[in-house]
Amino acid sequence: MRIFPGNAIIAKVESAKSEAFASCSGKKDHPPDKKRGDMSILRDIRKELFYDVQKFSEAAVNKARLLKEHPGKYFLRAVMAGFFIVVAMIFSNVVGNTFQSTDPAWGKLLGGIVFAIAVLLIVFIGAELFTGNNLVMAFGAYDKKVSWAQVGKVWLVSYIGNFVGCLI
C-alpha cells in the first residue's frame, strides 16, 4: 500500500526522463523502450498527473446534470449549505465571545472547531457551497467537460441558494 501516490508518478517521470536522455545521448546503459515509443510513455505520465483534474471534471459534469435535471433539489442543497454556514458562524461567535474575557486563545480555538462542524455537515449531506462549486466548475471548464454557460448557471444558482440559506 502506497502512503503517497505521488511517489509512483515521480518514479515514472524520472524513468521517462532517463530513457529520453539515453536515447538522445546515445548511451547504451539505458536503451529506449522498443515496444513503446517515448510519446506513449509521456502520455501515460500526463494521464496520471491529470487524474485529479479528471475527477474534478467528472464532478462538474455531475453538478451541471443535477442542476439541469433536478433544479429544485440542487437549489435546496445550496440553501442548506448557506444555512449551515450561518448557524455555524453564529455558534462560533458565541463560543468565541464566551471565552473572550477569561481566555481569548481558547475562545478562538473552540470557535474554529465549532465552525468546522458546519463544513462537515455540508460534506456529509452533499450540500452545494458556492466556494466549492467555484473550484469544481472551473476545473470542468478548463478540461472542456462543461460549457461556460453551465458553469455560470451552477455558480448563480448556488450563490443565490447560499444567500437565501443565510437569510433563513
Residue-level pLDDT, tens digit, the chain, 168 residues: 445 555 555 566 566 556 655 555 455 454 555 555 566 776 777 677 778 888 999 999 999 999 999 999 999 999 999 999 999 999 999 998 998 888 889 989 999 999 898 889 899 999 999 999 999 999 999 989 999 999 999 999 999 999 999 998
> Which amino acid type is present at position 34?
K
Chain-centre distance for alpha carbon 86: 22
- Its pTM stands at 0.68
Direct distance between the N- and C-terminal alpha carbons of the chain, in angstroms, rounded to an integer: 47
